[in-house]
Structure formats: C-alpha cells, structure tokens
Amino acid sequence: QITLKESGPTLVKPTQTLTLTCTFSGFSLSSIGVGVGWIRQPPGKALEWLAVIYWDDDKRYSPSLKSRLTITKDTSKNQVVLTMTNMDPVDTANYYCAHSTATYDQFDIVVAVVATLFDSWGQGTLVTVSS
Amino acid sequence: EIVLTQSPGTLSLSPGERATLSCRASQSVSSNYLAWYQQKPGQAPRLLIYGASSRATGIPDRFSGSGSGTDFTLTISRLEPEDFAVYYCQQYGRSPFTFGPGTKVDVK
C-alpha cells in the first residue's frame, strides 16, 4: 500500500524560504519508472503542478516557478524535499506530494520519460504566507 | 504549455442522472495521456481515469472516459450521492503537466 505524507511549516513570512518534506512508504524511489511530484492548490482554486523528481534523479519544474523551486530526494530515508524561495501571500495553498508512475522509452542504456501519471496522493498540508 | 479548458463550470444534477463533463486541450495530448481526478471537500484528489479511458484501481464502472487528440469526456452513468464533487482533467504527457480549472458536480 502506497502512502505519502507532507510535513513542514504551516505559516511562513513573505520573502522566507519554504521547505516541505514528503515521507512515503510502499514503494522505492530507486525503482525504474517511479517518481514523486508536488502539486499545490490555493484555497477554493484549481490544482497547479510544481515539480517532479524521478528514480534516476532527473527533475522537471513548472516553468513559471522554476527559478524558485528545488526538488531533491533521499532514497535511504524515503523522503522528497521541495524548497520554494521568496514566498509571497499568493503562494498560500495546500501543498500535496504524489507518487508518480512514469512511462518511459529505453534505447540501449538511455531512458527517456514520456509520461508522468500522479496516481497516489498525500493528504496535503496547508501553508499560509503572512507577516 | 498545453492549456486545458473544462466545461461546464458547474453541473447541477440529481442522483441517478447521467453526468457528462468535457475537457478540451489547446493542442493535441500526446498518446492520450489524459487523466481525470475527483476531489471532495477537505480531501486530496483521487485518480479516476488515465490514458483517457482506463479506470484506475477500485474505480466503479459507472465512471468512464473517452476522447482523443484535443477533446475528452468523463461520463458518470448514474450519479451516486458520493459522486458529488469537483472533477479535474490533467495532461501528463508533456511538461508542464497542466490541470484544467475543474467542473463542480452539485445536487440539483
């Protein structure tokens, strides 16, 4: 059974850096085809994908937030960490981490991800940005 | 970036009725890498459909997905009380992995 849980501060001040941790069980982030992503949702609004990290340490970021985001993994601890710099009140949202199943093509030793499905989600954590 | 548009914004129906939700993409979704999620208040999204038409594990067969290219549909054949929620489509074949704005299905 796959489970994920987000942790981190519930309140951050404008201009501060947010660090969120996703702790998971039921899968290994060293297995081919596996990834963990982050998605956020401002209260009452739609979902917004932020970033994903894959088993081979490849990473993808939302272009609109790329300069502010860093995603890393610690496979031994079953954790993925997302940092977001220069927080603003518009970044107030529920932040979710999710297990992803990647579809990939393999050419000899080269692996290319062609799709990333977010199939199991954590419960989310509400982060408020306010002074 | 692929922009997804969902219609209608709100669908007011009664239990037992059929619900038809639309998702339109600004450009073709590669290999129909289109997913549908259900979200209830205070809960995380739940994957319903992937690959435009494949049901995720444990999803009842009253949920079905169809479509290709730029036009996709989620159909709920007979609404159960627990189906009243917000539904999002997402394309997951090309980064950034964009979501639609959602369709709320509420009780008429």
Q: Reading across the β-sheet that carries B63-68, which strands appear in turn? A: B4-7, B19-25, B71-76, B63-68
Q: What are phi and psi of B83, to 5 degrees?
A: -90, -10
| pLDDT computed for residue A106 by the predictor | 85
Q: Per residue of chain A (131 residues), give pLDDT as tens.
A: 999 999 999 999 999 999 999 999 999 999 999 999 999 999 999 999 999 999 999 999 999 999 999 999 999 999 999 999 999 999 999 999 999 999 888 888 888 888 999 999 999 999 999 99
* Sign, CA torsion A120/B98/B86/B24: negative
> Could you identify the residue written with the tokens 């001040």?
A13
CB atoms within 10 A of CB B107: 10
| pLDDT computed for residue A112 by the predictor | 85
Residue of B nearest to A118 (CA): B47
Distance, first Cα to last Cα, chain B: 36
**CB B100 to CB A46 under 8 A?**
yes
Q: What are phi and psi of B27, to 5 degrees?
A: -150, 165
**CB A119 to CB B44 under 8 A?**
no
| pLDDT computed for residue A109 by the predictor | 81
Mean pLDDT of B78-90: 98
Average pLDDT score, chain B:
97
Among A119, A120, A125, A126, the strongest candidate for a mutation testing the B interface, having the largest count of B CBs within 10 A, is: A119
| pLDDT computed for residue B19 by the predictor | 98
Mean pLDDT of B61-73: 97
**Identity of residue A39:** I
The number of angstroms, rounded, from the C-alpha of B92 to the middle of its chain's C-alpha atoms is 13
Peptide bond into B8 cis (omega under 30): yes
The answer to whether the beta carbons of residues B67 and B89 sit under 8 Å apart is: no
The number of angstroms, rounded, from the C-alpha of A17 to the middle of its chain's C-alpha atoms is 16
| pLDDT computed for residue A2 by the predictor | 97
> Could you identify the residue written with the tokens 């169809």?
B66
User: From CA B101, how far away is CA B29, in angstroms rounded?
Assistant: 17
Query: Is 90 exceeded by the pLDDT of residue B42?
Result: yes
**Residues of A contacting chain B (CB within 8 angstroms):** 37, 39, 46-49, 52, 60, 62-64, 96, 103, 114-124
User: From CA A117, how far away is CA B97, in angstroms rounded?
Assistant: 9
| pLDDT computed for residue A108 by the predictor | 83
Radius of gyration of chain A (CA): 15
Residue of B nearest to A46 (CA): B101
* Sign, CA torsion A110/A36/A30/A21: positive
Max Cα–Cα distance, chain B, nearest Å: 38
